[in-house]
């Protein structure tokens, strides 16, 4: 961390702002009419029990590949053919997306915005996974000055151009930005262009946000 305060908090969406699909299995089962315990893939919460997650972490498949496979599996459980993650997300949490926002995220976003700092989102698949209408159901997103979504740009993290798009659009220096992502490959991408970074731990969201807030001289405690 440098001595000066940062100016912009740049957040990934899925996993950082919203809870992961792993954390909301019971909500998903309820929404889809599945028996409790049907969905048992734990991802980062128990990688040893999720070989597909391990393949993704080893870069043998992409993050999108992982979720497309899980979406197809879940669709089959309800007798349907789901060919995209958007169907999975909308059916699982589309009715009330606000319910899956991390309280730690809500607190940190308000702290940063109320203190006069800037906010941006850098996502690989916000509208691709959640659908175009999703943002209208989340008043929280009104606090963000910029949403850069590879659904439209076609530039996926950790491509350096994805980060530079945000930096240039905001008219700031890389070191003015604190980039937070739950995927290490994406964090390394932020490092490579000179951003300050926080590798978000989905098993410890409060601590991860505290690390990010420290760059702004803030704390949620």
Work out the average pLDDT over 111-135: 90
| Residue 129 pLDDT | 82
pLDDT at 15 over 90: yes
What string of DSSP letters covers 187-218?
A: HHHHHHTT-EEEE--TT-HHHHHHHHHHTTT-
Confidence of residue 144 (pLDDT cuts 50, 70, 90): very high
Cα separation of 186 and 64, whole Å?
14
Domains belonging to the chain, first-starting first, are 8-18+101-214 (3.40.50.1000), 25-97 (no CATH)
**Residue of higher predicted confidence among 134 and 40:** 40
Q: The pTM is what?
A: 0.90
Point out the least confidently predicted range of 28-32, 111-115, 125-129, 182-186. Answer: 125-129
**How large is the average pLDDT for residues 153-167?**
97
Confidence band, pLDDT 50/70/90 cuts, at residue 176 = very high
Number of helices (H) and strands (E), helices first, in the chain?
A: 10, 5
> Any idea what the Cα angle at residue 204 is, between residues 142 and 105, rounded to 5°?
10
For the stretch 41-95, pLDDT in tens is 999 999 999 999 999 999 999 988 999 999 999 999 999 999 988 899 888 876 6
Map residue 119 onto helix, strand or coil.
Answer: strand
- pLDDT value of residue 180: 98
């Amino acid at each position: 961390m440098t001595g000066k305060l940062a100016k912009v908090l740049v957040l990934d969406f899925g996993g950082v702002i919203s809870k992961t699909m792993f954390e909301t299995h019971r909500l998903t089962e309820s929404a889809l009419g599945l028996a409790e315990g049907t969905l048992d893939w734990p991802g980062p919460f128990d990688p040893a029990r999720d070989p597909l997650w391990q393949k993704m972490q080893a870069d043998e498949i992409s993050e999108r590949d992982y979720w497309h496979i899980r979406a197809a599996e879940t669709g089959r459980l309800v007798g349907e053919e789901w060919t995209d993650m958007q169907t999975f997300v909308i059916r699982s949490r589309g009715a009330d997306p606000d319910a899956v926002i991390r309280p730690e995220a809500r607190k940190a976003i308000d702290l940063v915005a109320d203190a006069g700092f800037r906010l941006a989102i850098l996502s690989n698949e916000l509208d691709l996974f959640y659908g175009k209408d999703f943002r209208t159901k989340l008043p929280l997103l009104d606090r963000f000055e910029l949403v850069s979504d590879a659904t439209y740009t076609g530039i996926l993290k950790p491509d350096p151009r994805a980060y530079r798009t945000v930096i240039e659009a905001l008219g700031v220096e890389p070191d003015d930005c604190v980039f937070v992502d739950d995927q290490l490959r994406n964090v390394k991408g932020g490092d490579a262009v000179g951003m300050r970074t926080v590798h978000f731990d989905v098993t410890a969201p409060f601590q991860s946000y505290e690390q990010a807030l420290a760059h702004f001289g803030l704390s949620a405690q």
